[in-house]
Homo-oligomer: A and B are copies of this chain.
Amino acid sequence: MKNIRTDLAIEARELYSTDGGQIPGVTTENEEIDGINIDRVHVLSSIGEQRIGKPVGNYVTLESMYIRERDPEFEEKLSFRLSQEIRNLVSIDKNTSVLIVGLGNWNITPDSLGPKVVDRIMVTRHLLELIPDKVDERVHSVCAISPGVLGITGIETGEIIRGVIEKIRPDVVIAIDALASRRTSRIGVTIQLADTGISPGSGIGNKRMALTKETLGADTIAIGVPTVVYAHTIGRDTIKLIHDSNIQIGSDINFMSEEQLDAMLNQILSENMGDLVVTPKDVDIMIDNIAGIIADGINLAVHDNITLDEIRTFLH
């Protein structure tokens, strides 16, 4: 297992499949629907786990440049697609209770994706408990929390989530988090789903307390969107663009492997750029937009045959 870390399975696959070929213990599929590139990575065994640096499980990446266009029609298609992929990963029926967890820091715009999604979730658990007769039968039990981050609460986020889960015992947990990417071009246009558990605080920082189906007693889906890159990454992307171009800028750089380039850049950049992490200038709009797409996708997935118009009316 190599030591280059990435939050995205699609990037792990790119990294570890240097010749573009197959990785033992890992299968992949790719399709394009409605202008959305869908990439599915299945890590099947501990061999695959070792090779790709990601736990056994299923990883689905939805990616589309059209997200940047902010076209409402395309966004609806993407929400529908997301809802389908959630349903593929986890079984939801009328007796399923779902907890949505919005990870991240609401005071830091690029880290506020999770809480912003929670703000738009159609929360119904209390209605089904208090006034069940008045609730449409297509509506399932959904509740939601934004637990904050360690620096705000002083409490490990995983502890808060576990404490709440032990009280309310949901069948399914869906957690949303902002991630860091290794490619500048993925910022704000990529949505990753995984059924391998939640790692609060791992998105941008260290892995602290992994919450899995085993520890939580609930199916867990993690939805992540890269919203930041290390300045470092932009530097590396630059070199890679030069590297891939036809311009001969130097024999050495042109023949370096990605790993060698990383090693060199780490040496030069770490002391000069420190750990500068950047996000697009229009981050407020970007986060708002993706939060809406993901919330709609979740709302469509966790209830039965609800329309986007019904969701809007409910949330109004």
Q: Is A193 an interface residue (CB 8 A)?
A: no
In Å, the complex CA distance between A63 and B295 comes to: 35
Of the residues B124, B249, B316, contact of A264 by C-beta under 8 Å: B249
When the two chains form their complex, are residues A123 and B164 in contact, meaning their CB atoms are under 8 A apart? no
Return A160 CB to nearest CB of chain B, in Å: 6
Once A72-B313, A145-B153, A249-B252 are accepted as A-B contacts, the answer to whether A283 and B272 lie under 8 Å apart by CB is no
Of the residues B155, B184, B252, B284, contact of A250 by C-beta under 8 Å: B252
Of the residues B204, B276, B316, contact of A70 by C-beta under 8 Å: B316
Which of chain B's residues have a CB closer than 8 A to the CB of A71? Answer: 313
Q: Is A151 an interface residue (CB 8 A)?
A: yes
In Å, the complex CA distance between A166 and B165 comes to: 12
When the two chains form their complex, are residues B184 and A276 in contact, meaning their CB atoms are under 8 A apart? yes
20 A-B residue pairings within 8 Å (CB atoms): A72-B312, A108-B284, A109-B109, A110-B283, A111-B281, A124-B154, A126-B151, A145-B147, A145-B155, A159-B167, A160-B167, A163-B168, A164-B164, A231-B278, A237-B272, A238-B239, A238-B265, A238-B268, A239-B239, A247-B268
Once A264-B247, A268-B242 are accepted as A-B contacts, the answer to whether A282 and B108 lie under 8 Å apart by CB is yes
Please report the total number of A residues contacting B with Cβ < 8 Å: 81
When the two chains form their complex, are residues A238 and B281 in contact, meaning their CB atoms are under 8 A apart? no
Q: Is A87 an interface residue (CB 8 A)?
A: no
In Å, the complex CA distance between A272 and B185 comes to: 8
Q: Is A210 an interface residue (CB 8 A)?
A: no
Once A126-B150, A276-B184 are accepted as A-B contacts, the answer to whether A237 and B237 lie under 8 Å apart by CB is no
In Å, the complex CA distance between A285 and B228 comes to: 16
Contacts A238-B265, A279-B280 known; 6 new A-B pairs at CB < 8 A: A123-B153, A145-B160, A238-B238, A239-B239, A248-B252, A278-B280
Copies in the complex: 4
Restricting to A97-142, which residues have a CB under 8 Å from any CB of B?
107-111, 123-127, 141-142
Q: Is A245 an interface residue (CB 8 A)?
A: yes
Which of chain B's residues have a CB closer than 8 A to the CB of A236? Answer: 238
In Å, the complex CA distance between A281 and B236 comes to: 18
B-contact bits for A77-103, CB 8 A (1 contact / 0 none):
000000000000000000000000000
Return A308 CB to nearest CB of chain B, in Å: 12
When the two chains form their complex, are residues B273 and A184 in contact, meaning their CB atoms are under 8 A apart? yes
